[in-house]
Structure 1
Amino acid sequence: MPTPPMPVPTGANPLLGIGLKVLSVIVFVAMQSSLKAGGEGVPPGQLVFFRSFFALIPVVIYLAWLGELRTALRTDDLPGHVLRGVVGVVSMGLGFYALTRLPYPEWVTISYAAPLLTVVFAVIFLKEVVRAYRWAAVAIGLVGIVIVSAPNFTALGDPSGSAHATGALAALAGAAVAAVAMIQIRRLVRKEKTATIVVYFSLTSSLVALVTLPFGWVWLTPWQALLLIVAGFCGGVGQLLLTACYRHADTSTIAPFEYTSLVFAVAIGALVFDEPVGASTLVGGAIVVMAGIFIILRERQLGIERARARKVSPPQG
């Protein structure tokens, strides 16, 4: 899951922030491609372990270089971090299971349901106020997800169609659980440092994933092991880049570039995995991307309005 956004410091550099965001997307696409290429027949719990454990290497090196490794482990909410780790493992497990069974562009598009569902869960769990514009965008975005997913459920008569339908269901469930994880991150970020959230997530998710060892881990080929280690390392590097990009630009500037991952997914799906892109994926993906960008822009507008309201409000007392 993405690291929560940080306040933009004085002297922000939006172009640098955008560049770091796009670079993080490329690294995460490399992570997902490595998991897809090396994860055939590998249990989801084992994939989650490699993704989480080897992500610690670049994160620990970076924090040690900053001199923040010791303080990164200080927390006032250990149960909150454990809960975030468990939810994250479930989300990644479902997502990785789906990734090995669906065409890559389709999997990426369905995963975009997570930020849409985060809006819904924020109303339920955080009591946030969501007005008609955002509700409409969420509804339209979910229609796009249905358009992408529907063909998988019309081909249940043959084994490949059944496998795709199972993958689509897992991807949707993973996106829903990822939205729950984002709500937990919002709770943690109110009192915990970003570095603490990142470190504890990698630690707890590695330990939780390790518990699945007795339930059928497989012996990896050297090529599979290399790909999964690369996936984990890329996950850690991508997390650091994502964290860094929010130091240089605000969320509304950065967030739309998340959708560049669909462009990379289409290219890699065609060139590396020989996966044709269906019309439903292109149409549904376009709808989801437009809905997501609308929500981001609406959030920016509301933020500007709230800032203006604070400036003109008379002092209290």
Structure 2
Amino acid sequence: MTSHPAERRLRGIAMRITSATSFALMAALLKAASARGVSTPEMIFYRNGWALLIVATWLTLGPGWKAVRTKAPAAHLTRSAVGLVSMLLTFGALALLPLGEATALTYAAPIIATILSAIFLKEQIGIRRWAAVAVGFVGVLLIAHPGNGGAPIGILIGVAAAFGQSAVMITVRQISRTEDVAAIVFWFTIFTTIAGAAMLPFFGSMHDRTTMVLLALAGLGGGIGQLSMTASLRYAPVSVVVPFDYLQIVWGITIGWLVFLTPATPLVFAGAALIAASGIYTAYRERARGKEPAEARSMPESS
């Protein structure tokens, strides 16, 4: 029996809220682990290694293992390498910046992706979308303001992470034209788990039980967030669910204040609001232009 369209949209929205919340908790857990001496390469390994359990369970109960077959292994390798660099930068920003600022900066990725799409994919960008890009960059500048207290190197890494995330969006957009989303998620998770394991002899160390629990929960949260984000698109269009991605910024600022005792400044609030408005409007314009890609999304994948 087919669900009513309104019911399907509500289900898609609920899944997107689950995704934003899961990613926010994952980021908070990784930041807590970083404060306990966990290196960024270790975060890569544990985040993806534990997420692999979620992905494997989903494949077994859902689309099946045939869905991971691919005719484009080189494309998956390129997409995974770009994603790995992006994830390293994203987790590095988490370690160096207050949680709210680090989260908000990564959400500049859709803005940058618009520019990269115009340059590399030759997409036509109208004046209103360019205006949205300009608004988003004003938001980035407000967050990067020295008066916010963020370490300059952390700000640079956070901005670099946003560029990395935008590159991921472009590569995913290209590969999703021919590859199943299950294959994209699975091979990326495999690649980053192996890459993280390869870095452990150089950057890994022993940790106490509490730290290992934090890392396990972060990985499971990341896996749940990834799959609920993807599943939301089965029930509702991107333009409907994208606004709920920005709940992660709200959660990041709130958790940063209540747990890490780093309240956001008014400039960070203003910058986050401008970035969110820019991203939501960009998604709306994609919908209006009839170019809303089936697997597109606003939320940074490396979250």
TM-score (norm 1): 0.86
Q: Does 1:270 align with 2:257?
A: yes
Which of 97, 116, 123 is 1:121 aligned to? 116
> 3-state SS of the aligned residue for 1:247?
coil
What's the counterpart of residue 49 of structure 1?
A: 45
What's the counterpart of residue 74 of structure 2?
A: 79
Which of 51, 59, 66 is 2:62 aligned to? 66
Answer yes or no: is the 8 Å Cα contact 2:13–2:244 preserved in 1: yes
What's the counterpart of residue 220 of structure 1?
A: 207
Structure 1 residues 295 and 210: CA distance shift in structure 2, 3 A = same
Shift of residue 132, structure 1, vs aligned partner? 1.2
Shift of residue 73, structure 1, vs aligned partner? 2.8
Which of 27, 33, 46 is 2:28 aligned to? 33
What's the counterpart of residue 310 of structure 1?
A: none
Q: Does 1:91 align with 2:48?
A: no
Shift of residue 304, structure 1, vs aligned partner? 8.7
| Distance in 1 separating the partners of 2:135 and 2:238 | 22
Alignment-mate amino acid for residue 109 of structure 2:
A
Q: Which has the larger radius of gyration?
A: 1
What's the counterpart of residue 195 of structure 2?
A: 208
Answer yes or no: is the 8 Å Cα contact 1:39–1:224 preserved in 2: no
Structure 1 residues 124 and 11: CA distance shift in structure 2, 3 A = farther
**Structure 2 unaligned runs (5+)?**
293-303
Structure 1 residues 304 and 243: CA distance shift in structure 2, 3 A = closer
Which structure 1 residue ranges, 4+ long, deviate > 4 Å from structure 2? Answer: 9-12
Shift of residue 11, structure 1, vs aligned partner? 5.2
Answer yes or no: is the 8 Å Cα contact 2:22–2:222 preserved in 1: yes
Q: How many residues align?
A: 288
| Distance in 2 separating the partners of 1:29 and 1:278 | 19
The CA RMSD over aligned residues, in Å, is: 1.9
Give a deviation string over 1:144-167, Cα, whole Å, max 9, x none. 101101226x97xxxxx6xx1111
Which of 245, 267, 278 is 1:280 aligned to? 267
| Distance in 1 separating the partners of 2:109 and 2:219 | 21
Structure 1 residues 204 and 11: CA distance shift in structure 2, 3 A = farther
**Structure 1 unaligned runs (5+)?**
1-8, 156-160, 306-317
Shift of residue 183, structure 1, vs aligned partner? 0.7
TM-score (norm 2): 0.90
| Distance in 2 separating the partners of 1:301 and 1:208 | 40
Answer yes or no: is the 8 Å Cα contact 2:22–2:225 preserved in 1: yes
Structure 1 residues 197 and 304: CA distance shift in structure 2, 3 A = closer
Alignment-mate amino acid for residue 197 of structure 2:
L
Give a deviation string over 1:47-94, Cα, whole Å, max 9, x none. 11111111110110111112612x133101111111111111111111
